[in-house]
Every structure is written in C-alpha cells, then in structure tokens.
Amino acid sequence: MSPFPRGIRTNRKRKVLPPAPTNNPARTPLPGGIRSAQWYCLRLSLRHYENFFVLGPLTPPRLIPHLAALYAFCRHSDDLADEIAERGEAALRLDAWEDELRRSLGGYPGHPIAAALTHTVRQFDLPHQPLFDLLSAFRQDLSVTRYATFRDLRDYTRRSADPVGRLVLRLYGYQDDELDAISDFVCTGLQLANFCQDVGHDAELGRIYIPLEDFRRFEVDPVDVLNRHPSAQLNRLLHFQVVRAYKFLNAGAHLPEKLVGRLRYSLRLFVYGGMQVLNNVQRDPLLALRRRVKVSARQKLGALAAGFHPLVRAGKRRRGARP
C-alpha cells in the first residue's frame, strides 16, 4: 500500500515491474547511466494521474527527478506487495528488492529505480533508515491483516507513511525535528483518511485497518466489514475513524505556514484534499463499504483554490501597486 502513500493510490490494475537482477555480482554499469534511470522513474510516475500534485507545476524542476525516484521506489514496492496474488512469492520479491536497494546504496546499482534513488540519497545526504522502514511496512501488509490496538496501527503508519514526509522535507532543504514531528501528523492523517475511504476495497484484500479494540468499543463484529453488512453500530464505528483522522490532519495543518516557497502550497493541497476525503466519508460512512469514496472534480478545484488563494491575493496586491 503506497504511502505516497496511499493517498495517491489508484484502483487500476498495475503492471509489476520485472524483479531486480540478483545474479550479477559484478553489477555492470547501468546502460545510459543515471539520466536513463531517472527517465525510467519519471515515466513510471507520470503514468499515474494523481502525481499532478507531486510532480506538477508547483514542483521545482530541479527536484522532479528526485521526487520521481522516491515515488517510483514506493510504487514498485507497493506493487510487489499488492499485485502479486501469491504472498510467498510477493515476500520473496520484496526480499530481493531490499537486497537490490542495499547493494545499490553500497555502490553497486542494478535496477534503474534503485540506481536513481541511490543518486538522490547521495545528492541530498538522505538517511537510509526511512527507506527500509517503508519496506518493512510493505512486507507487513503480506502477513498482518488486523491490528489489535490503535497503538499497533500507529506503529504501522510510522513506517508506512511518516518516512515519505520526512524525506520530502529533506529534499526541499528542511532538517528540523519539530517539522518532522508535525509532518508525521500530516502523513499519518492522510493515511488514516485513506483507510476511511478504502474500507470496502481493503476488505476485498482481506485487510482491516480499524483496530479491533474499536470494534469491541462499538460492539461490531469485524466480519460485518468483510461481508459489507451495514448497521447503525458500524456507522458509528466508521464515524469514529473519521474523527480520529481529522485530529491528526488538524494537528499538522499548520505545517505549510512553517515552510516557504512552492512546498507550502503543495502541502496545502494535500492537507485540503485529505480533509475533503474525510468530509465525503463523514456524510455517509457506510458508503465506503460499497465503493471507494472519491473527491469530486469540483472539490479538486476547491483544493487548488485553497492552495493558491494566498498567491492570488498577493498577485492582486502586486498588480494593484503598479500605476
């Protein structure tokens, strides 16, 4: 489940890329060099319409290949976990992919995604651990389908969502513990919002991202989610999940105002989009059992307006100041 996560996930069937090569100890140089690897990642990223906000006009051109490399890494890892039906094979593929990443970071790149990501890691002196935290979360999706407590679920989002926000901050030049902590609220809030909108879809995969302690609290049987059996109690349970996600997003909603430049406006779009998802789920929580709750075109335009509103006002002031 992609952390870029999961907030920019699509329901379309995705083609899993070939497994990373593992039988060449010499690790011959990548044909075409790093530029070829970056183009590979960019093409993969641009196949997904959701990346308008990730790689769109608000993204500084110098960062596009690096954000594309990070996205491609998350997408490919997610595909290995979600798109291979046999979990044993998926686990082996993820193990091989982690080995590929370790070799690449150690100076022996092979797969173009690993090569491009390694280049980005070196260019920006990114920490390695967040990448392996992401892989551990993808691997967990293969074996863990229930979470006893919210504390357990939060440990999952700490590895599946939070690392992306911290890495993006580093790419934009921020290295600050306070910003990291606020970013964690945003990233986990966005992932919780996706859990709310994807209850039915996740149930099809046999996964439930609602803590079992919450089921007991609202006197709901998890089987009701798997069978998509609506009830007043289940409606209240889902509403509770929405409120929790709101709290996380609200706790991080001031992050954009602590940033400067284009990232401020990009982040506003993400936060506003997450809020819109929750607004839609809150109107009819049980709808998420039947289908994925989406953000309408009108709401997307509203997100753009919310993100750019300060820019528009500033532009009007500048134009008005001229004779």
Give the model's pLDDT for residue 58: 80
Alpha helices in the chain (DSSP H): 33-46, 52-55, 64-82, 87-105, 112-124, 129-143, 150-160, 162-171, 177-197, 199-204, 212-217, 222-226, 232-252, 262-283, 287-290, 297-321
Rounded to an integer, the average pLDDT of 19-43 is 65
Distance CA 152, CA 211 (A): 8
pLDDT tens per residue across span 166-209 = 999 999 999 999 999 999 999 999 999 999 999 999 999 899 99
Answer positive or negative: Cα dihedral of 73, 75, 81, 83: negative
Distance CA 196, CA 272 (A): 16
Q: Is pLDDT above 70 for 144?
A: yes
> For the chain, which domains are there?
29-128 (1.10.600.10), 144-308 (1.10.600.10)
Give 140-146 contacts, CB < 8 A, sequence gap 24+. 141/1, 141/81, 141/82, 141/207, 142/81, 142/87, 142/90, 142/91, 142/94, 143/87, 145/206, 145/207, 145/208, 146/208, 146/212, 146/222
SS3 145: coil
Distance CA 160, CA 162 (A): 6
Give the model's pLDDT for residue 301: 66
pLDDT tens per residue across span 66-123 = 999 999 999 999 999 877 778 889 999 999 999 999 999 999 988 999 999 999 999 9
Distance CA 150, CA 157 (A): 10
SS3 63: helix
Distance CA 246, CA 109 (A): 41
DSSP annotation of 149 reads S
Distance CA 132, CA 120 (A): 15
Comparing 296 with 257, which gets the higher pLDDT? 257
Give 88: exposed, middle or buried? Use CB within 10 Å, 0-12, 13-18, 19+.
exposed
Computed on alpha carbons and rounded to an integer, the radius of gyration of the chain in Å comes to 20
127 Rama sector, left if φ>0, alpha if ψ -120 to 50, beta otherwise: beta
Q: Taking the mean position of all CA atoms in its chain, how far away is CA 173?
A: 20
Answer positive or negative: Cα dihedral of 134, 136, 137, 141: positive
pLDDT tens per residue across span 287-298 = 888 888 776 667
State the pTM of this model: 0.83
Give the model's pLDDT for residue 23: 39
Nearest to 211 by CA among 274, 138, 158, 148: 148
Answer positive or negative: Cα dihedral of 286, 287, 292, 296: negative
Give 49: exposed, middle or buried? Use CB within 10 Å, 0-12, 13-18, 19+.
exposed
Q: At what angle do helices 162-171 and 129-143 cross, to 10 degrees?
A: 160
